[in-house]
Amino acid sequence: MSDPKRYWQPEAETASRDQITAWQSERLVSTVKRVYQNVAPYRDRMDAAGVRPEDIKSVDDIRKLPFTTKQDLRDFYPFGLFAVPMEQIARLHASSGTTGKQIVVGYTQNDLDIWGDIVARQLTAIGLSPRDKVHISYGFGLFTGGLGIFEGARRMGATIIPVSSGNTERQITILQDFEPACIACTPSYAMYIAETMEKMGVDAKKLPLRCGVFGAEPWTEEMRRQIEQKLDIKAYDIYGLTEIMGPGVAYECECQAGMHVNEDHFIIEVLDTETGLPVKDGEKGEIVFSCITKEAFPILRYRTKDIGAVTHEKCACGRTFVRMSKPMGRTDDMLIIRGVNVFPSQIETVLLKTGHSPNYQIEVDRVNNLDTIAVRVEMNEATFSDTVSEISQRERALAEAIKSLIGVAVKVILVSPGSIERSTGKAKRVIDHRKLH
Ligand code: ADP
Ligand code: ZN
């Protein structure tokens, strides 16, 4: 495990804790100065909180800074939190917000290079080299999955196969004929590929595929075992979110024992959800990230709403970055359906806009390893009908309207008025049968 080729940037990945703290302090101080100068909403927030840039002298002062939330990204949509002029922005990415409006982030060329480095750290850690081919089945587009892994594979010098998502049989032909060593996609899609291979009579053991990089949605250790066994590969976890960078904010090494946070670029805090105070190593809390090297979109103290824990314990791989657990749930109601963020409020918005009843329930399941989403909606005076053909036509129209907003196909079932159970407290809008945590 001391093979130097296993590190992409050994000076960072194996830096001493003192060195990491020194980098974090220096980079936080300069980022705070920069956003205070260049980004009006940060300046206003800090002024309102009575914090001056000079008050931030080291990483220990981070708690003086106000939080940033997804709501802020919506309020300053599209470019209000960018810290450089548009001519320096090399790329935009976006992710869904709660009401259909995307949240938008930007990267300078330097940001993209750093993104490439942090993803290359993982590809190298799991034994890949420029001689290998990397098959990317994450979607290419505004979603960060496809192009994020692309940046890493390119930086490392691997041969990239940018397949993007969909057409599973074609994916399998490519896995057979182009012979990639690694596949990157959501874990549920990896399972689906494995099952499709079984159906097609393709023997995964005969493929040269050695490993996979899977993330963008929650998955369990049980799923990891199944993917590893069915595809005859090693399956590694990768974590990220659009607001911070995309995939690669944290990455699993060959030890498969938690994800190393790229602490030279991001500061992680784990905060008690009630008190907002830091929790101890190993204890659960809300994960909060600050970007300390990003030029275009240096978000500070971003509340991810992911619940997780970190450990400072030494990892057998020799890396010194802290490791975070798999996310163990969320503090909000965001669902991740086939890698896409979906908020129940988005569906509610469509119901109301199209004259449907606001009495609804969303049922999420995983069938043959693909997430399914069904929306039961009560009929009201406007949408009531007793002819089957009219009902199914309305169901199809509503399903189409929901799909065009959230980007995921849903099944709509119109049910008779009053048939959805009423609650005396908070309505139970979502039933999730997937057991992912
Ligand atoms: P991405 O493009 O990386 O999926 P999004 O912004 O669309 O980014 O979604 C980010 C959210 O996806 C995270 O806040 C987290 O809830 C979830 N997520 C990302 N990676 C993982 C992972 N490896 N395991 C569990 N959840 C993950
Ligand atoms: Zn490690």
| For the CA of 341, the nearest ligand | 1
- Residue among 336, 338, 406, 432 whose CB has most ligand 1 atoms within 8 A, to mutate: 336
Q: What is the pTM of this model?
A: 0.90
- At 295-324, the pLDDT tens digits run 999 999 999 999 999 999 999 999 999 999
Which atom, in ligand 1's list, is nearest to the CA of 145? Answer: 2
Task: Report the separation in Å between the CA atom of 258 and the middle of ligand 2, taken as the mean of its atom positions.
Answer: 8
Say if ligand 1 is within 6 A of residue 306 CB. Answer: yes
Query: What is the tens place of the pLDDT at every residue in 138-152?
Result: 999 999 999 999 999
Ligand 1 neighbourhood includes 327 CB (under 6 angstroms):
yes
Which of the two residues, 382 and 312, has the higher pLDDT score?
A: 312
Question: Helical H runs in 260-419?
Answer: 344-353, 388-406
Ligand showing the shortest atom-to-Cα distance for residue 13: 2
Band (425; pLDDT cuts 50, 70, 90)? low
What residues sit around ligand 2, an ion, with C-beta below 5 angstroms?
253, 255, 315, 317, 319
pLDDT (average), residues 83-91: 98
Given this model, what pLDDT does residue 100 score?
58
pLDDT at position 214: 97
Model confidence over 107-120: pLDDT tens digits?
999 999 999 999 99
Indicate the pLDDT class of residue 427, thresholds 50, 70 and 90.
confident
Please count the CA atoms within 13 angstroms of the CA of 63 that sit on its side-chain side: 8
Q: How many whole angstroms separate alpha carbon 133 and alpha carbon 209?
A: 9
Atom of ligand 1 minimally distant from the CA of 238: 23
Homologous superfamily assigned to 1-330: ANL, N-terminal domain (3.40.50.12780)
Closest CA to 214 of 188, 175, 253: 188
Distance 348 CA to ligand 1 centre (A): 23
Listed in order, the ranges of the chain carrying CATH 3.40.50.12780 are 1-330
**Minimum mean pLDDT among 76-90, 119-133, 352-366: which range?**
352-366
Pairwise pLDDT comparison (105 vs 382), residue with the higher score:
105
Taking the C-alpha atoms of residue 115 and residue 121, their distance in angstroms, rounded to an integer, is 10
216 lines ligand 1 (CB under 6 A): yes
For the chain, give the mean pLDDT.
94
Query: Could you tell me if the CB of 218 is within 6 A of ligand 1?
Result: yes
Q: In this model, does residue 97 exceed pLDDT 90? A: no
Which ligand number lies closest to the CA of residue 139? 1
Looking at the CA of 303, name the nearest ligand: 1
Q: pLDDT (tens digit, 9 = 90+) per residue, 215-264?
A: 999 898 988 999 999 999 999 999 999 999 999 999 999 999 999 999 99
Residue nearest to atom 9 of ligand 1 (CA): 241
* Share of residues in the chain with pLDDT > 90 (%): 83
Dihedral (Cα; 431, 432, 435, 437), 10-degree rounding: -100
pLDDT per residue as tens digits for the range 207-224: 999 999 999 998 989 889
Q: Is the CB of 336 under 6 A from ligand 1?
A: yes
For the stretch 41-61, pLDDT in tens is 999 999 999 999 999 999 999
Question: Where in the chain are all domains bearing CATH 3.30.300.30?
Answer: 335-432
Q: Which atom of ligand 1 is nearest to the CA of 330?
A: 16
**Mean pLDDT, residues 360-369 taken together:** 92
Kindly indicate the confidence band of residue 98, based on its pLDDT and cuts at 50, 70 and 90.
Answer: low
Alpha-carbon distance of 321 to 13, in angstroms, equals 7
Cβ(215) – ligand 1 distance below 6 Å: yes
- Whether 413 shows a pLDDT value over 50: the answer reads yes
Q: Atom 25 in ligand 1: which residue has the minimum CA distance? A: 218
Model confidence band, residue 333 (pLDDT cutoffs 50, 70, 90): confident
CB 329 within 8 A of CB 437: yes
**Which tokens sit at 425?**
């407290």
The confidence score (pLDDT) of residue 1 equals 46
Does the Cβ of 139 fall within 6 Å of ligand 1?
Answer: no
CA 225 to ligand 2 center in whole angstroms: 19
Query: Residue of the nearest CA to atom 16 in ligand 1?
Result: 306
Q: Give the residue, out of 306, 432, 434, with the most ligand 1 atoms within 8 A of its beta carbon, to mutate for a pocket test.
A: 306
Q: Which CATH architecture has domain 335-432?
A: 2-Layer Sandwich (3.30)
SS3 283: coil
The helix/strand/coil state of 321 is coil
* 157-170: pLDDT as tens digits: 999 999 999 899 99
Tokens of 283: 């204890």
Of ligand 1's atoms, which has the minimum distance to the CA of residue 259?
23
Report the pLDDT value the prediction gives residue 4, as an integer from 0 to 100: 59
What is the per-residue pLDDT for 369? 84
CA distance 4 to 137: 29
pLDDT at 99 over 80: no
At residue 281, does pLDDT exceed 90? yes
Indicate which atom in ligand 1 lies nearest the CA of residue 214. 23
Q: Does residue 242 have its Cβ closer than 6 Å to ligand 1?
A: yes
pLDDT value at 7 more than 80: yes
Nearest ligand, measured from the Cα of 340: 1
User: What span, in angstroms and rounded, lies between the C-alpha atoms of 164 and 161?
Assistant: 9
Read off the DSSP letter of residue 307.
Answer: E
